[in-house]
Structure 1
């Protein structure tokens, strides 16, 4: 159950931050965002606020922000249709009832002659109460269509994604992966604030209860001046001497509370990769500083970004087999292992996964954010957008191939972890 909860929390955070990036930059550009969804498939929970419906869906395989103009979404109001109209105090149409008009007895029934709910925002028609006169009705920019009792807000052309500048559209798509890097950075900074940032000072960090250091009388915070008469200038010097002297007595000259003190310590023997080394049960010293934490967060984000790019390079060059890739099943199993090591390891794992998600989405693969960004680059170079139907077909094929890859990876995970 702990693993399930950890997996759901991590997955939810990764998807939320990713989609929030798309959402916030689309909203800033003035795009009508109809839905902000975590998960896919049937709705489990929904809540509407202002123009957006926030949903949680059944299948934990992603999320999306449904932006106006991205999908065929509006019913075309053709000449001859009979619709009901409701107005506000300014005599602008706020609701266009397409069917079941009897449920709106106060609506004005009109036979449509012409309607444009995207650019002109007008509807021309013959009202039942004045059938001989062609009337022109002004439509409110936030009017809704009502079909089968369900309201759908209209999307004037200036509220649609495609009407925005190339820069605005680029940022709305790029912001998703960008926020995954931001999340990873935040997680690494929080870890550094809570755990501290390792330093190279010759100062003892936390001691293990059963270590030789504690048994000899050393304490956390002791500053090591010398070992066996050798002057110590860094923590690296301390580690090197201890590792080279298993089961040998070492004379530590330390400073505690401003006073020097001699303490004899015998490192225990430990075998690592077939080599005998000495250990005394002391963690490296750490510094809890906001400035150091921010620097550490940036350093860890950069390190894991380069590591993941390196693995991608090996995949492209054939040094890394596709069978080694993991999907949701593999991530779940890995999360189970990491969860056993504690909350800090789990937070670090979430940060690594977030960077991985950000990088994967930036790859120029159709149906992914990187694929869409690639089309924006082509648009910038040629000075005009690519035909939307052709672009849509490319993304559809890309999505189908991604789903096929997901099935293959998931099956490999099942064989690797449950059928071996």
Structure 2
């Protein structure tokens, strides 16, 4: 478990650092003064002033932030800031800065995906077997060796995409395009409902590992990142619809458990397997962090972006004290939500 905790802090530290680095670099490029760049939360362990920015590492290895001049002054008073303060920057510069964090998460995910795809076999969406003779896939005429090309018009590149579509299915008819012996074919598949597990199944085993080489690595890396992007927003939709519960949501404690389970599963196969699997997990978490921060919820980057776009439409900013109050309420709600998630995570550990 100690190794898993260390791995989690390394993974989370890298992802938070790249996120804040996105804010930092784009702010600098737009001439916005960055007062502090810090990683972690709580008391300062190490700090160094370089130029106009204080760089620091804090005690709790979770979270981080860039603090811009004038960003947190929301008392409604008339503060005197020069043109390099965040409030006085051009609105499009502020939009770029706020979007920079999530954007760097997606860039980080893409870089990691290129490394993984170049060094690990790709799991192609090839039918490797049917769960039973009368499964939904068998009724649709699918056979071992068929390459799934698309489901309901959505292009498929990865075996896990078929699994996720099956998991999220609500029982409707699926239009399947597949290749058999080089010929493109079409069929319709109606998933079967499993009462014991409470979900629909396509009744098919999917997966065939082959290496990707040359320039094909880049587009397949993009497909890998896109898969996690789709999985993240689909999971959010299921949570909103009530088809997922709080027990399906993981916070820091739950992520440590996921890292530990993953490490225990792949460690017998050697250090290279551990590294590649952890990089794949980082891709998932980096995309997840980027998507979550873009949600239009107060206190998140997405919530702050909403106010910037309102300013674009209105031609003038929302009063800062009003915006600040909205973000304060949002922060309280987020902290309460995280507390619930942590309690849920701990209860999972104890079961």
TM-score (norm 2): 0.71
Residue 103 of structure 2 corresponds to which residue in structure 1? 178
Residue 167 of structure 1: SS of its match in structure 2? helix
Q: Does 1:285 align with 2:220?
A: no
Q: Does 1:11 align with 2:12?
A: yes
CA distance in 1, matches of 2:86, 2:42: 24
Q: Pick one of 334, 338, 345 that aligns with 1:413.
A: 345
Cα drift, residue 237 of structure 1: 7.4
Cα drift, residue 316 of structure 1: 1.0
In the alignment, structure 2 segments of 5+ residues that lack a partner are 126-143, 148-200, 267-273
Cα drift, residue 196 of structure 1: 5.0
Residue 83 of structure 2: SS of its match in structure 1? helix
CA distance in 1, matches of 2:4, 2:123: 29
Contact 1:6 1:339 in 2 (8 A): no
Cα drift, residue 72 of structure 1: 4.0
- The 3 A distance-change label for structure 1 pair 61 and 287 is closer
CA distance in 2, matches of 1:198, 1:405: 36
| Matched residues, number | 266
Residue 316 of structure 1 corresponds to which residue in structure 2? 240
CA distance in 2, matches of 1:301, 1:326: 20
Which digits, 9 at most, give the CA deviation of each residue in 1:87-123, with x for residues without a partner? xxxxxxxxxxxxxxxxxxxxxxxxxxxxx994xxxxx
Q: Does 1:38 align with 2:12?
A: no
In the alignment, structure 1 segments of 5+ residues that lack a partner are 77-115, 119-155, 201-234, 239-272, 278-282
What is the CA RMSD across the aligned residues, in angstroms?
Answer: 2.7
CA distance in 1, matches of 2:100, 2:223: 21
TM-score (norm 1): 0.59
CA distance in 2, matches of 1:338, 1:168: 41
**Greater Rg by CA:** 1
- The 3 A distance-change label for structure 1 pair 317 and 287 is closer
Higher relative CO (Cα under 8 Å, sequence separation at least 6) belongs to 2
Q: Pick one of 105, 109, 117 that aligns with 1:192.
A: 117
CA distance in 1, matches of 2:109, 2:45: 28
Residue 52 of structure 2 corresponds to which residue in structure 1? 51
Q: Pick one of 329, 351, 354 that aligns with 2:286.
A: 354
CA distance in 2, matches of 1:117, 1:72: 8
Contact 2:295 2:303 in 1 (8 A): yes
Residue 277 of structure 2 corresponds to which residue in structure 1? 345
CA distance in 1, matches of 2:231, 2:22: 24
Residue 72 of structure 2: SS of its match in structure 1? coil
Contact 1:195 1:288 in 2 (8 A): no
Q: Pick one of 294, 303, 312 that aligns with 2:227.
A: 303
Which digits, 9 at most, give the CA deviation of each residue in 1:202-238, with x for residues without a partner? xxxxxxxxxxxxxxxxxxxxxxxxxxxxxxxxx9479
Q: Does 1:330 align with 2:331?
A: no
Output aligned runs, 1:74-223, within 5 Å.
118=80, 156-195=81-120, 197=122
Cα drift, residue 297 of structure 1: 1.1
- The 3 A distance-change label for structure 1 pair 388 and 117 is closer
More strand by share: 1
Residue 375 of structure 1 corresponds to which residue in structure 2? 307
Contact 1:328 1:410 in 2 (8 A): yes
Contact 1:188 1:297 in 2 (8 A): yes
Which digits, 9 at most, give the CA deviation of each residue in 1:10-67, with x for residues without a partner? 0111100100000011111111101111111101111222221111111123110010
CA distance in 2, matches of 1:287, 1:397: 48
Which digits, 9 at most, give the CA deviation of each residue in 1:357-392, with x for residues without a partner? 111100011000010001111111111100000100
Cα drift, residue 158 of structure 1: 1.0
CA distance in 2, matches of 1:408, 1:70: 29
CA distance in 1, matches of 2:243, 2:13: 32
Which digits, 9 at most, give the CA deviation of each residue in 1:259-317, with x for residues without a partner? xxxxxxxxxxxxxx9x9x9xxxxx8331332x122111100111110111111111111
